[in-house]
Amino acid sequence: MKNLAKTGFYASAGILLTAVHTANAAIDFWESKVQEGLKGSGESADNAIQTIIWNVMGFLWILALWYLLWWGFNILTAWGDEEKVKKGKTVIIQAILWIIVIFLANSLLQWLLGLILV
């Protein structure tokens, strides 16, 4: 059973890396800006900062949900091993708490940026 969990983890990691590689293949990597003489975009600094913050928050949401699903799967495949079930429950509770923290941090950041940038 340990090999099944390890294989599942490696398969998940492989799928994630493939998706990231596919997404990166479509990125321009600034070739157009080099050809245009590095004139830059018309985007202001506050918009760039907001974009970075929202991307980081989105990544944290995905990471927390993946963590929650992974340990839920581990509980389902524990086959009655009390130690694995206990560890899985603990990690799921921690993941739920992190989801709440991410939600509150996201709300706080939206409120603060709304005050600052208005």
3-state secondary structure 7-70: HHHHHHHHHHHHHHHHHHHCCCCCHHHHHCCCCCCCCCHHHHHHHHHHHHHHHHHHHHHHHHHH
Average pLDDT for the chain: 76
* Single pTM value for the model: 0.54
Q: How far apart (Å, rounded) are the C-alpha atoms in residues 25 and 23?
A: 5
Query: pLDDT for 55-82, tens place per residue?
Result: 888 898 898 888 888 888 888 888 888 9
- Give the model's confidence band at 50: pLDDT under 50 very low, under 70 low, under 90 confident, else very high: confident
